[in-house]
Structure 1
Amino acid sequence: MTLKNMLLSRKSIDSIRAWNRNRISRRRLAKEVVMTPHGFWFNGNASMQDGTFEVEETALVKRILDTTDMFVNVGANAGYYCCIALQQGVETVAIEPIPNNIGYIAQNIKANGWEENITTLPVAVGDRSGFIDIFGIGTGASVIKGWSNNPESLKLTVPMVRLDKVIGAVSGKRMFILMDVEGFELEALLGAEGLHNPKEKPIWFVEVLGHGGVGQPPERQDNFAKTFKLMFDAGYAVYEANQNLRPLTWDDILEAQQNPDIQDNVRNYLFVDADLNVDEVVLDTGNKQAS
């Protein structure tokens, strides 16, 4: 096979994969919402519908929401965590750049009658304002080319903003920001530096990915440790975002930087103001109204 034919073959395969993902996405979006075990109507990933999605993480998020006044979901996908927050009566902002996912969010919010309690921003977040290409159509879409094996032909140019330009520090309110941006964490957090040092720092729940699992390209693998250094320097303590809430030191991060298995084992991290006791942020029982 000639080089030209090989390139044409790869392009054809990429186009077929893109067509198939579009087909599946349209079919899923056309489905009706179902009642979840969490008590709200939802259309999206099957595990989000049946209560098996990120069980430990969901329980932790619910506990944190009991102590917070505003929830910001960066990379909101179909709006699962937004629905969790809205059900608990927490003011919510959904940030999601993929039009298909915005369709899910609209469907799910309307089905539960929460239209007036959420602000939805159809943008990506990064370390600057402007525009950026994003690859993919649903879960796993990323601005990083090749991420999650997304077809290159599923490319969309979307607006990008700095988070600290659209979400200001709110005096007297405790803000909880959940971020899942598929490998673009460092840039997104750099664009939120204006939020790192207010009197009351936001609580952050962030998926941080290095060279384990899906895998950052080689030139981005150092971003794993850089992400944590940014947050340590901003005055945060770091915990594994699971039921153990194990505190992590800089030495722990350096060890994980060198060990993909550690990165595969824990992907979600909780960043809390180092001056706070984590027990003040994560309640074991009760709710905000009763506290």
Structure 2
Amino acid sequence: MDIVNIKINKNCKLCIPSKDSNDNMYGSKNVQDSIRDTNIWSKEETSLFIDILNKNSNNLEPIIVDVGSNTGYFSMIALSYNFNVFAIEANPVYKKYLEKSIEINNFDKNRLKYFENFASNIKEDVIFDGWSGNKNMMSYNEKNMVKTIALDDICCDKEILILKIDVEGAEPCVFMSAKNLILNKKIKYIIFELTYIMKDKLQYDQINILPYLQSNDYELFEIVSNKLLYIKNIKQHMNYLIKEYMTNHLVHNPNLVNLGAGTNILAVYKGNHIPNVTLFN
């Protein structure tokens, strides 16, 4: 187990698997290596995450919900800003890292509620390979049945400042499990990965998340290098991304056909502050 000081304006240490640990086998090695080598993961997402926490530090009542929390990078940042966190992670190997991080930082463990489940609207156990619950993205031989929970059930009486979702292609299930929270305007900010192509096929259940959020009064932004791109016309924006993938990225890297294409999205409920993505420039 390695201990890393996260590169933020707080004293926050994160425990992650050591380089030779078997816990790196589940596809998150690139995440852990980046954190170990640079003390940060995805500087734009980290920047806007911290900016939102800073701008709302006078009201700690809303919670942070971290779906696909992995070793707890975003959960620990939120805890360092004194917010309460719901962390949801279906892979059992990661819990010990987050618990150890809380211990070495002397954080109040009661401010974290941990769910070793798969977030979904489906009321039955799902197959999970340690990395993804989306059957189109599974690549590991070891598959287990994992119990599901719905965000509408566990957060029904909560206001949510940030909902962060990173579940490797299973995002539609998470959004379906939060229909009431979204309908009742309980979530201010949503940060998520949109995987719009898998195995060379368009994923309309993923793409349709965007008009769904827009129809519920969210402003949409694509998170790119050092900036946010406002998505006014979803069809035009997606056509551009798909064309870029087909005519540029796929031509230069044919192996992408097995990986697919995705991007990170920020959804901001109308009237809220648009966060800064350049804090680490």
Q: Identify whether the pair has TM-score above 0.5, normalized to the shorter chain.
A: yes
Aligned to 1:205: 191
**One-letter code aligned to 1:48:** I
| TM-score normalised according to structure 1 size | 0.74
CA change 1:174–1:67 in 2 (3 A) is: farther
1:74 aligns with 2:67: yes
Structure 2 residue runs of 5 or longer lacking an equivalent are: 17-31, 57-61, 250-259
Aligned to 1:252: 236
Which among 133, 139, 151 is matched to residue 150 of structure 1?
139
**One-letter code aligned to 2:83:** V
Using the TM superposition, give the Cα deviation of residue 109 of structure 1 relative to its aligned residue in structure 2, in angstroms. Answer: 2.0
Using the TM superposition, give the Cα deviation of residue 261 of structure 1 relative to its aligned residue in structure 2, in angstroms. Answer: 2.2
**One-letter code aligned to 1:34:** V
Cα-to-partner distance string for 1:257-291 (whole Å, 9 max, x where unaligned): 64362998861111112x315xx2526999xxxxx
Using the TM superposition, give the Cα deviation of residue 217 of structure 1 relative to its aligned residue in structure 2, in angstroms. Answer: 6.9
Using the TM superposition, give the Cα deviation of residue 234 of structure 1 relative to its aligned residue in structure 2, in angstroms. Answer: 2.1
Using the TM superposition, give the Cα deviation of residue 233 of structure 1 relative to its aligned residue in structure 2, in angstroms. Answer: 2.3
**One-letter code aligned to 2:50:** K
SS in 2 for 1:210: strand
Contact 1:169/1:198, CA 8 A, preserved across alignment: no
**One-letter code aligned to 1:120:** Y
1:228 aligns with 2:210: yes
Contact 2:48/2:277, CA 8 A, preserved across alignment: no
Identity of aligned residues (%): 20
CA distance in structure 2 between the partners assigned to 1:100 and 1:66 by the alignment: 31
Cα-to-partner distance string for 1:64-96 (whole Å, 9 max, x where unaligned): 122343211000001000111111111111011
Using the TM superposition, give the Cα deviation of residue 188 of structure 1 relative to its aligned residue in structure 2, in angstroms. Answer: 1.1
Give the length in aligned residue pairs: 241
Q: Compare the two structures and name the one with the higher helix fraction.
A: 1
Aligned to 1:28: none
Aligned to 1:163: 151
CA change 1:128–1:266 in 2 (3 A) is: closer
RMSD: 2.7
SS in 2 for 1:208: strand
Structure 1 residue runs of 5 or longer lacking an equivalent are: 1-30, 287-291
Structure 1 or 2, whichever has the larger Rg, is 1
Which among 164, 170, 173 is matched to residue 178 of structure 1?
164
